[in-house]
Structure 1
């Protein structure tokens, strides 16, 4: 199967072809001029010109070999006795290509060899030293140095461009990773919210449903209050779920949290009391003292802790306390239930509380309370990033 050439490959071949034609023509013109009037501008000399140009076509794949054959060809050309073409002219492209390929020492060594051999030959021919140093040697050194310097410059620019491209790819990959991490964090936050909201709501509904079923025909007022509590809890939960669905449909937007914060804890306490657990609350945190994210996380931690009290502890009494301490808000939810015996292993709710706190730079611990029940302790910074 033939692999189609890319645009870059075509451009490189075109440049190499132009170089080859340029070298062949330049050498051929100098041969034809025969400045020393040797009378030996024969077809064989032009074959050398063609050979020098043909070697250039392989300069990208085999730069050192092309340079070596070019230098050898120059020596053979002069040994045969063809018209002078300058010692450096046929090798300019080969020197440039070798330096561009990163073989600077090869290029410098070959250039020095050409200059030294040319100078030695001219001295042997009896040429005046002033001519040698003022024109011939200076011209050869200038051509060799310019070819090598140009090759190094092109290589340096190419490496700088490649470095910039690699850096750009790294930056793009890092940005993509950050976006993916943000999406993951957003999904985890929404999952924790859903778990807390649905878990608390179902616990309240289950407890009040039992109260209502037991009170029917015995205490209609108690049954009515239980059913009303179920309706209010379900209605509030539906509002939160709709806000969460909007956040899922429009990534990057914050759900409407309404009054969710420590100021909404009294509603949680009232719902727990209606479910049969005597809850006391001491909220010693002034309004608007906490960042919104911290306030919402504190509310969710209290909500999940009270949900566990209703679902697992079998407690009759529970307490909620939130206060400022050492530049942080300390939260404690304790009960007089079965304690750690009711928790065989940390569930999603307890893990979710720890994750919420960790994201904000805080922590959550849990275990047996002083009364023998279960206790949840959380410490959160007052301000995010503090």
Structure 2
């Protein structure tokens, strides 16, 4: 069973204050005060009833945290009776200050103000109506100042506690926001890596499949040509492994930076040459000077051409031709991949590759068109907006 240490501490405090108050109440009666040269006019001799009132005034300290206002009211009643009946109060007035402090530190402003006013009114009423009068008005002023100071100390503690709680809550909110941002960044990174892997694997595997098919057909009749096809397969496989290593390497580091230069428009001639070796007659046309492009747009344009040529290689059919057109206009980059083949089926149009291309183009505010051409063939075209100076 778990013990509430705060309640235990309050009970001990109440017991100490009650014991000290009873001791002072008993030892310092009217005869002792007069013997010591102190005024004791009108005070009654200590008796068991007075001692019981002292204990009753101190006992509510044990509940000062759980029910502070009720404890204050319960303590003021016997303390007021002690004053009205002319008994000495011992240290019971100290318990009243402890309870006032507790109300100020554990309850709202309205309740705390009410407790302060109640304490002041109770003291003034008992002092005026009781048989023992204060020596001068200075005593009233001192007691009032002490009560207000105790009340102010309690309010300061409450405000500090609220401030610390707000700091903890703010830190928790910031931590949750940081965790949420981290999860979003990881999800975005996984999505980016998935797109890159799909583009790399789909392109290179398609090229290798076509080259392997060509090597199989000419293996018996033309071993030298088959050997060249196998060498091309080996070269394509090495390229695919290198690109995948660069992409997957991001997962092994905490940094989200790229681990190597990414392909771009400058690498399109090598891509077109690779497609020619795979058996797709491809031509590259560059209109205007592309110049330096934003890294994201540069990579997106390259992946679009790569996906478009891969689809042409898969679906255009034997003898089809493809053309890649890259045109740089003021404020826009136009990238097209066209072929004169039969085009992909409905399944090819909804593949993950074209979905990834749509996401890339949309990410940079571009416009994507995918579909058959009016005179036959198929087209994948994207227009990327460029800011001034790009």
1:212-251 correspondence runs (5 A): 212-219=215-222, 222-251=225-254
Shift of 1:128: 8.5
Equivalent residues in 2 for 1:198-347, closer than 5 Å: 198-219=201-222, 222-252=225-255, 254=257, 256-258=259-261, 260-284=263-287, 286=289, 289-314=292-317, 316-339=320-343, 341-343=345-347, 345-347=349-351
Q: Tell me the residue number matched to 1:354.
A: 358
Match of 2:379 among 357, 375, 381: 375
1:153 equivalenced with 2:152 (yes/no): no
Aligned match for 2:187, one of 162, 184, 189: 184
Offset from partner CA, 1:84-121 (integer Å, 9 cap, x none): 56996432111111122224333332332332343345
Between 25-34 and 93-102, the greater mean CA deviation after superposition? 25-34
For normalisation by structure 1, the TM-score amounts to 0.83
Q: How many residues are treated as equivalent by the alignment?
A: 376
Given that 1:335 and 1:371 are in contact with CA atoms closer than 8 Å, whether structure 2 keeps it comes out as no
The answer to whether the aligner puts 1:163 opposite 2:166 as a matched pair is yes
Q: Write the distance in 1 (CA, Å) between the matches of 2:105 and 2:202.
A: 68
Q: Secondary structure at the match of 1:154?
A: helix
Structure 1 segment 65-84 matched on structure 2, within 5 A:
65-84=70-89
What residue is the counterpart of 2:33 in the other structure? Answer: none
Aligned to 1:102: 107
**TM-score normalised by the chain length of structure 2:** 0.82
Indicate conservation of the 8 Å contact 1:360/1:380, yes or no: yes
1:190 and 1:275, CA in 2 relative to 1: closer, same or farther beyond 3 A? same
Q: 2:50 aligns with which of 22, 38, 45?
A: 45
Distance 1:27 1:359 in 2: 78
Deviation at 1:284, TM superposition (A): 4.6
Assess if the C-alpha contact under 8 Å between 1:23 and 1:52 holds in 2.
Answer: no
Inter-partner Cα distance in structure 2 for 1:186 and 1:223: 41
2:68 to 51, 58, 63: 63
Match of 1:16 among 6, 10, 15: 10
- 1:112 corresponds to which residue? 117
Partner of 1:175: 178
Paired residue secondary structure (2:286): strand
Give the Cα separation in 1 of the matches to 2:151 and 2:78: 20
Q: Deviations over 1:274-319 (max 9, x none)?
A: 3332222223575761233432232222211211111133371222
| Helix, strand or coil at the partner of 1:51 | helix
Task: Quote the Cα distance in structure 1 between the aligned partners of 2:120 and 2:166.
Answer: 36
Aligned equivalents of 2:192 and 2:104: distance in 1? Answer: 57
2:362 and 2:135 map into 1 onto residues whose CA distance is 83
Q: Distance in 2 between matches of 1:169 and 1:271?
A: 54
- For residues 279 and 349 of structure 1, the distance between their equivalents in structure 2, rounded to whole angstroms, comes to 20
Q: Which piece of structure 1 moves more, 140-149 or 37-46? A: 37-46
Distance of 2:332 and 2:13 partners within structure 1: 74
| Aligned-residue offset at 1:23 | 4.0
Structure 1 residues 256 and 142: CA distance shift in structure 2, 3 A: closer
Residue 330 of structure 1 aligns to a residue in which SS? strand
Over the aligned positions, Cα root-mean-square deviation in angstroms equals 3.3
- Cα distance, 1:264 vs structure 2: 1.3
